[in-house]
Amino acid sequence: MWGLLRATHALPSLAVTAFFSATALAAGVGPRTALLAAAVLVGQFSIGWANDYLDAPLDRAAGRTDKPIPTGAVRRSRVGVAAGVALAVDVPLSLSLGWRPGAAHLVAVGWAWMYDTALKWTAASALPFAVSFGLVPVIVATMLSGHPLPKATIVAAAACCGVAAHFANTLPDVAADAQTGVRGLPQRLGPRMSTLVTVAFIAAASVLLVIATQGASLAIAAAVIDVGAAGVVAARARDRTQAFRLLIAAVAVLVAAFVVTGGRHMTG
């Protein structure tokens, strides 16, 4: 069971669930946020299990000890079954939110599965992150009374957050990706260019958030911090360890500002 739990990519799964839940609460979804959290968590578990199931042969060949299947902590077949069951369970869970938010969430999960099954090794690897993160405000907004659509600038800011997170997350995994043959867009561009792309998308998301929230003070503060951090990273992009830490901190500040200010200014 411990190996099966590890294969869910528990920390990222919980982080995405918390991001959804906090944004929904800030937007005024109310008690139904608990149902949204359940649907998101099950969907994330299905994505994590699918990822480890599909990557198992490459992980074994690379001798990776940080994955549960290559180390024998859990059987690959069990992880594959768990991924399928979780995906099937997530369909009624998502649709219980309402057909609009439910369909949007299933599309987001579908794009994440497309990343796992095909796009992870291509130049289009960032596309699922842009689409899935961009759908977060759509899912939350359509759960509100009247099922309004979110502001386009909020959707664009969320999509930029997703792309920035995708590029930033590759920086510490250069060696592991080379071993397993992952050739997504960040790997094709290389660590230095990926750092600069992350900087650009963090800055873009910050500006879009300020516009969407009509200059909310927290959004402005986050933008100043993020653009400042991005400038430092751009100037010292060759130090990958420092760049990764600064970029993750900048993304964290951006996400916090998005949750609070973006949730309050979701529609309008």
| Under 8 Å between Cβ of 263 and 21 | no
Question: What pLDDT sits at residue 88?
Answer: 97
Burial class (CB in 10 A: 0-12, 13-18, 19+), 50: buried
> How do residues 214-250 score in pLDDT, each as one tens digit?
866 666 777 777 666 666 665 555 556 666 667 777 7
Continuous H helices in 118-184: 127-134, 136-141, 152-170, 174-180
Question: What pLDDT sits at residue 99?
Answer: 96
Half-sphere exposure of 46 (CA within 13 A, CB side): 24
Residues of the chain short of pLDDT 50, as ranges, are none
C-alpha closest to that of 123 among 197, 202, 16: 197
Q: DSSP of 196-232, one letter per residue?
A: HHHHHHHHHHHHHHHHHTTS-HHHHHHHHHHHHHHHH
The pTM of this model reads 0.88
| Under 8 Å between Cβ of 74 and 84 | no
Question: What pLDDT sits at residue 187?
Answer: 84
